[in-house]
Structure 1
Amino acid sequence: MADNGNTHDGAPHAVDKAAPPRKAGRGKDAQAGTRARERDVEMIVAWASFAALIVVMALAQGGVLVHVDMNDARQRVHSWFSAPRYVQLIWIPVYLLLAVWLVRVGNGRRHAKRLGRARFTMLGALFTAACLVGVGWVFAWAFKNYPASVTLIVVQTALVWVLWFLSRRDDASVWGWAPFSLWGSWLVVETLVDIARAVTYYVSKDGAMSGTAQSVATIVLALALLAAACLARFRFDDWVFGLVSLWSVVGIAIHLMDVSKFTAVVIIALAAVTAVFMYVPWKRVSGRLGTIEPRRQEPTKAQREAMRSLDAPHVEDLRADDDADTVDAHADDAAHTAANKDDGR
């Protein structure tokens, strides 16, 4: 009877000792649930800011937000370096690629470190900030507030290129960095357009700029944009920047055909030379010219790991589940071991 009493008394003791680890497993499950909820909040805010940017941009492109003061003669003086309406259609692929990026980030398989105790990751916070700054820029540009519009477009461009750098560092796939390259390169074009428009507005205080000054300024800006495209192509192997630059300057040149054929022809010639320089496979033309082509950058260790994790379940969730199962198994083993010892007595 004493043995039986000890047996019944010992088993609950062993189970009680093993019970706390079960709570630890549940705690990890709760933490995983908290992380998931925080992730949901981040994605909701990101999608909301992205949707706001799309709506405001659509209203501006549709002419709803455009405000022109006809009493201000300078607002009727236009800069030659301005993208025509059809060139602005590039916003469509920009938004489509950004939507794909958001879906990939929000699928729960790619996770980044949070900003301290905040609920946002670095990428999520920067993306939301870029969208909100973009909304402010659209309003400033629509209401002809040139100092504010130039400042905001410069800030937004900087944020997008930081996103490009961080995303390219962690994800070597095209879907990781191309959306920000497309967005950032078009914002570079928009920045030059805003600066040219602001300069034209303030210089035209005493009269419109001369055709020669407009021609020289337009050619210089186009040359600077194409040079930046070459730098991106050969320094960072970013071929998207070049496509956006060529699309923009050719559109501007065609738009200027009725204004200054000389300026248009010069810009088209510069674009043609740049396109040949950036995209012709020189290795196939001549082995000696192979050094002209940009060297493909090998993915880093972090990029390779990120690419492998895209099609795998979330590592933290697996660890949490494994830890919980391990704790449960240890608890059961401890209970059985204690029971067997008491039976042996």
Structure 2
Amino acid sequence: MTETFYEVLRRQGISRRSFLKFCSLTAASMGLGPEFVPTMAHALETKPRTPVLWLHGLECTCCSEAFLRSAHPLASDVILSMISLDYDDTIMAAAGQQAEAIVDEIIEKYNGNYILAVEGNPPLNEDGMYCIIGGKPFLDQLKKAASNCKAIISWGSCASWGCVQAARPNPTQAVPVHKVIRDKPIIKVPGCPPIPEVMTAVITYIATFERLPELDRQGRPKMFYSQRIHDKCYRRPHFDAGQFVEQWDDDSARKGFCLYKMGCKGPTTYNACSTTRWYGGLSFPIQSGHGCIGCSEEGFWDNGSFYDRLTKINHFGIEANADQVGLAAAGVVGAAVAAHAAVSAIKRARQKGGNE
């Protein structure tokens, strides 16, 4: 029998008070209100840990590197206590045939009850021979592991969209996971890499509520991908005021003005970077002085230079004081009154002509 998360914590000497604090912090990190804390605590007390297979296809391991740096909750709490991460060839101790045997064991033992996490993507050209795992094409391993899983998590833009491996001309014919597996629920968690806390929160949500989080029409969790980075960016007031960086390291850049003219894709990118931020809420690319490159959006690698604007977005224009706004409003009202008077005069003239 697989232990529950709470049983693992108690065995490690963690107090009940610390456990409830963990539930509160984790709920908050997922955007859930305090009313969900008892539900989360009950679930983690009573439900066995969720078995997880984590496979790697064509990728650079940046998703794993991000995941290991999660702060709320810590990746160690997720991996060692909350879930049963039975296979991940990046961090597991087993190797060779011993490691590959674990995949078969989990598929058989937890038929229909395990989560398949996929980092990277499968190449289709040459029957998948451009990515070999354990002497066999990753494409075959993916299909086999997906056959009996409960759901799939596509980690990062590689698994979600194809990413740079699928960039033109795509000689390996790399494709995202959903192009190969079509009969299983798939949660896409795009980003290059995704935000660490987003990754751990998705697993925590599934482990707690035994269901998938609500997804948008592209299959991404709404709790993290429902708003554009632009919507909550701390530089947004400069955009609205028409204050932009015109050249790297100019005076406007030193003042922290908006990076839209430098190619920032924040207005067209859906992610939680500007709110959750990275590595314990420390920073995110725009805060460090570089525009968003839109790495969580499909096809970002084929959309031209990262420093070209994709769209023309109208903003409020130059900053105006209250007196200028008032004068402009008075001018608009005056013009409207004059237009109304002119229309009324025309109507009276037509009526008079008709009577004659």
Instruction: Specify the TM-score bucket, using the shorter chain as the normaliser.
Output: under 0.3
Indicate the structure (1 or 2) with the bigger Cα radius of gyration.
1
Structure with the bigger percentage of helix: 1
TM-score, length-scaled by structure 1: 0.23
Higher RCO (CA 8 Å, separation ≥ 6 residues): 1
How high is the TM-score relative to the length of structure 2?
0.22
Q: Which has the higher strand share?
A: 2
